Amino acid sequence: MTDLTAQRGLYAGPAPIVSKDLYAQVHTGSAVRDRDAVRLAPATKVSGNTYFGRFPASYWQRWTTVTEVSVEAVVTGTGLLSMGASDVEGEPRVVAAEQVADAKQTKITLTSKLDKFYDGGALWLDLETEGGQTLRVEQVRWTVEAPEKVRPTAVTICTMNRADDCLKNLQALAADVSSLETLDAIYVADQGSDLVESRDGFEQVAKDLGDKLHYIKQPNLGGAGGFTRGLFEVAGHTATEHANVLFMDDDVLLEPDLVIRMTAFSNRAANPIIVGGQMLNLFHPNQLHVGAEYARLNTLEPGQPVEHSLTTADLLGVDEETLKPNRQERRLDAGYNGWWSCLIPYEVVQATGYPLPFFFQWDDAEYSYRARAHGFPTVTLPGAGVWHADFHMKDWDEWHRYFNLRNSIITAALHSPFNLNLLSRVLLAQLVRYLLGMQYGLSATLIKAVEDFLEGPQILRDGGVEAMQEIRRIRDQYPETKRHKATDVPGIASNDIGIINSAPPPSRTVAVLIKRLLDQTRDRHRFGLGAVPADEAHWWHTSLFDTVVVTDASQEGVRVRSYDRAKMFDLAKRGAKVVQRLRKEGAAVQEQYKRAMPELTSRENWTRLYDL
């Protein structure tokens, strides 16, 4: 292999819900855009300056040893092909162009050096016809010089009772498998009771994928246990010792070209790096979740957009300030990448170990920060995207919040200064907001998370199975953790629930907080009963009610929060006590986790958890 395909030029998405404008935009005239080809009518211009159409030149110049890139296409007809480029400000220029006349399945190649993109910018292919001309362009691919040995990729999918979603992604990979030359294997770790293999289409997809598919049934060890199984299996085969492992969620809408883009980038990286794919919002398919993110570890804040990052951006819209199209022109450095799509080279596993048995939540961030400490940064690659359910449509008040809190504290203990005074203030502030908002189950969840952190690393010995069961049992004791239909709220007539909207955020937060606390301790409430939309369920508003019906963030139902003075005082005392313990014992517990890290992340520990 002399040329390595870095990405394909596609003109339509993997599903009808995806706008073709994310792949190529028709600026003038008329064009027919298919998945692998585009046909231009006379007097038409089609631009590849789009999310999936762009080649992320800045990232290739910064992180790889590639010095030039080519785009090649098979052309029939007459027209102009030009390679466009942008800089850090998004200003366009043309770096190569070729006019073709009466071509018949002619291969055209345009080339550009990767030498003017360090801080930002991309490359793309534009097509144009004049009056009386027609043009068909197909088999478009961006290529770079291949390395001496191409490292293949093993995809690993963790699934838990999402059999239909997982099967769809296997079918998508199977349908494109002839183009995925660097796809070595697919590992499916099925941890559910509703198995993927039970579906009618599984037998056919298994036949289509042949010996590439490895279907594994195992106990539910959460996302960490499911994804780690792929690393574990690849590391057990000498033939794939120098492979990449690509984590992929089971419930994403997959763009199969992601495999090509991330694998090629990793193959030509100057040094081993973790390559992350970006997340687009499934319920709003034109939206980019975030360009790149990091975590504020000591204050337990994941998902922070890095400076200059696009955030919940309409990729077909414009920036409100600059009025320029929403393009991620400036190159960004990521702190970590979510495991909806994340490629990990084998060298990282050799040097860093396996993920912690966190069950799920923060396993991706912890692993990236641990890898960074060993010299392996994370790069979030634009244009390598999958669609995942929008995060803002998932409610915070769920049992998984336990793992989010517990694992964030463990990660802070391992990879931050672990300022216990700061951390205590953060946790107390969260607890006060939860109690004021009458989220007693969520308060108990926080308390349990801190208590279990203080238990030390032995809490991770079973991979989180017992903790999952226990936190669900605890939360089941609190009525407001349960979701109801708005027309069937227990003890409340549907017609009695009217919306009471929130005031703006208080200008004097501390004063308002103290006033709300005093009112609640005296059992004083401005409203007896009311409904509050999910986006207005702030503590300063919900604390005004005796009973409040809050829309669930999923928009699928409501939660009923009712003031309970006894619960509030009991949880406040328990919370204050456990946070005080954290201040006193936290440093010693931190050392326990650090000492236990090599054993917890060892192959031997995961062999035990997998019962192999």
Task: Name which of 565, 562, 566, 540 is nearest 550 in CA terms.
Answer: 562
Per-residue pLDDT band for 307 (boundaries 50, 70, 90) equals: very high
Banded model confidence at residue 259, pLDDT cuts 50, 70, 90: very high
Judge whether 531 and 569 are in contact, CB under 8 Å: no
Contacts with 303 (C-beta within 8 Å, 6 or more apart), sequence order: 290, 293, 295, 391
In the numeric block, the tokens 């579906």 are attached to 199
Residue with tokens 């139902």: 557
Q: Residue 121, by phi and psi: left (phi above 0), alpha (psi -120 to 50) or beta? A: left
- Whether the per-residue pLDDT at 535 is higher than 90: the answer is yes
Which band of pLDDT confidence, cut at 50, 70 and 90, is reported for residue 238?
low
Give the Å distances, CA to CA, from 567 to 529, 564, 583.
Answer: 19, 5, 24
Let me know: does 568 contact 561? Beta carbons within 8 Å. Answer: no
pLDDT at 393: 85
The two structure tokens encoding residue 289? 């979740």
**pLDDT given at position 239:** 61
Looking at the predicted structure, is the pLDDT value of residue 553 above 70?
yes
Any alpha helices (H) in 142-201, and if so which ranges? 163-175
Q: What's residue 177's pLDDT?
A: 86
pLDDT at 395: 87
pLDDT above 80 for 241: no
Percentages helix, strand, coil for the chain (3-state, rounded to 5) are 35, 30, 35
Give the pLDDT confidence score for residue 394 in this predicted structure: 86
3-state class (DSSP) for residue 28: strand
Tokens describing residue 62: 């910064």
Strand partners, 258: none
Which stretches does DSSP call E strand in 273-339? 274-281, 287-290, 293-296, 301-305, 311-314
Please give the full DSSP string across 544-584, using - where no structure is assigned. TEEEEEEE-TTSS-EEEEE--HHHHHHHHHHHHHHHHHHHH
- Give the confidence band of 538 by pLDDT, cuts at 50, 70, 90: very high
Chain mean pLDDT for the chain: 95
Instruction: Name the catalytic one among 190, 249, 363, 364.
Output: 364
- 35: tokens are 């998945």
Give CA–CA dist 140/81, Å, rounded. 12
pLDDT by residue (tens digit) across 438-463?
A: 999 999 999 999 999 999 999 999 99
Beta strands in 10-67 (DSSP E): 25-28, 31-33, 37-40, 45-47
Question: Residue 298 is encoded by which pair of tokens?
Answer: 């000591």
Top-confidence residue, 325 or 396:
325
pLDDT band at 496 (very low <50, low <70, confident <90, very high): confident
pLDDT exceeds cutoff 70 at 346: yes
Distance between CA atoms of residues 445 and 430, nearest Å: 11
What are 361-414's pLDDT values in tens digits?
Answer: 999 999 999 999 999 999 999 999 999 999 888 888 999 999 999 999 999 999
Q: pLDDT value at position 62?
A: 98
Look up 249 and say whether it is catalytic.
no
Query: How many other β-carbons are positioned within 10 Å of the β-carbon of residue 429?
Result: 12
